[in-house]
Amino acid sequence: MTDLLAATTMSTATDAAPAPGPAPTVDHIATPLTDARAQLAEAIGLLGYENGLHQMLATPRRELTVAVPLRLDSGESRLYIGHRVQHNFSRGPAKGGLRYAPNVNLDEVRALAMWMTWKCALLDVPYGGAKGGLAIDPREHSMAELERVTRRYTSEILPIIGPERDIPAPDIGTDEQTMAWIMDTYSVNSGYTVPGIVTGKPIALGGSQGRASATSRGVTHIALAALRHVGLDPARSTAAVQGFGKVGADAARFLSAAGVRVTAVSDQYGAILNTGGLDVEALSEHVRATGSVVGFPGGDALDGADLLTQDVDLLVPAAVEGVLHDGNAGDVLARVIVEGANGPTTPAADRILRERGILVVPDILANAGGVIVSYFEWVQANQAYWWRADEVESRLEERMLSAWQHVLGYAEARDLSLRTAATALAVERVAEAHRLRGLYP
């Protein structure tokens, strides 16, 4: 794993990221990693933990950076850089998605791995947090090229993954087919089929019923509970959804089915608005046919940035990090924000939104449905026994609403924001596991 020819680097808690500094006060210096560390620092201060534990929780346990060569269909070769970060193992094997996007970098993956640790702990799933990324634009490559680059990336990170070590799952730019390639590559190298190496894989290869829409269902369960909490009837409420991909599209569909009037949606190409309510099913057909929400005849064109400040009851940012910041948080009109994406709200925006009385349900609670059903899939794979879709969905709803009540009660008892309460609860659980295990040697 130190082979320079593979451009592979390993680091441990003693040589990875430096100890965190104070939380940034303005968003122009904020990044996903500074945001994640600022949230951790706030929780550490609330819990009164000592600096050594703070440093341990702020620093990934293991990082692997690999050079991934790809032979294109044309015969040319290109080189891409990939990462796998394992933030914490105190509560179990590492768990986290694999992202393919041109702007992937190590600090982003570090932040996402940390958030996964808190998410798993908050939902009482026996995992630590991990995340992977490859700095590649999958839209520029054929399926054959994506298969080759996935198998090569998998072979490079083989020494640190496994069903008892680190279990990847889909994220931005990857899907169940990607997971099938990873599973096969790992299985071929192991000499036998290992369905528990990934989650989010096809049903035919041992995937779980309900996994593909699990994050969206979880977002919907939490959104409906949050609306009711602030005194709004979901059947009389309106919503805007930023992002119409894996999370946002199904979240919009489930919200609409629950009676919420979805008036605005966006994707990376543009946004649309219909104050009378969008026909989400027709919009989904349009996106399948054209690849974008742009041009949908049932809505008017809208500037993508303006979606975040629409006059709606519920805002679901389900795209990327940092979209709500100190430059636009003062203009948000939604009563409730439910984070479908990871890290969509910066710390400065968080402070502004709380001062304005806007309820923000944090990502580590709101979008945890995916990791819950990933855990269900892993359990099923290890037992070689698969559950019915209704069993998966009922267990998902129970887990999500139980966590919602726990976080809400913790926040109200201590006059905290939901994000601070959720992070503190999660950090407390990880710290307790670490304390019980002790230091080695």
Domains (range + CATH), the chain: 4-205 (3.40.50.10860), 214-361 (3.40.50.720)
CA atoms within 13 A on the CB side of 49: 23
Q: What is the pLDDT of residue 384?
A: 87
Cα–Cα dist 319/307, whole Å:
12
- Residue 123's CB is within 10 A of a number of other CB atoms, namely 22
In the chain (441 residues long), the average pLDDT of successive 10-residue segments reads 34 36 48 92 96 96 98 97 97 97 96 96 96 97 98 98 96 96 98 95 93 94 98 97 94 97 95 96 96 95 94 95 94 97 92 97 95 94 90 95 97 96 97 95 87
Predicted TM-score (pTM) above 0.75: yes
The answer to whether 156 touches 6, Cβ cutoff 8 Å, is yes
402 three-state secondary structure: helix
Q: What is the pLDDT of residue 29?
A: 63
Q: What is the pLDDT of residue 10?
A: 37
Residue with tokens 């855990």: 375
Q: What is the pLDDT of residue 25?
A: 41
- Residue 304's CB is within 10 A of a number of other CB atoms, namely 15
DSSP 35: H
Q: What is the pLDDT of residue 170?
A: 94
Triad 302, 305, 308: Cα angle to 5°? 95
Cα–Cα dist 439/430, whole Å:
14
Supply the angle between the helices 32-47 and 51-58 in degrees, to the nearest 10: 150
Triad 27, 13, 436: Cα angle to 5°? 105
Q: What is the pLDDT of residue 275?
A: 95
Q: Give the CA radius of gyration of the chain.
A: 21
Per-residue tokens: 157: 């990170």
DSSP 365: H
Per-residue tokens: 244: 């119409």
Q: Which residues are catalytic?
A: 131
The answer to whether 258 touches 242, Cβ cutoff 8 Å, is no
77-111 b/e with 16+ CB inside 10 Å = b?
eeebbbbbbbbbbbbbbbbbbbbbbeebebebbbb
DSSP 324: B
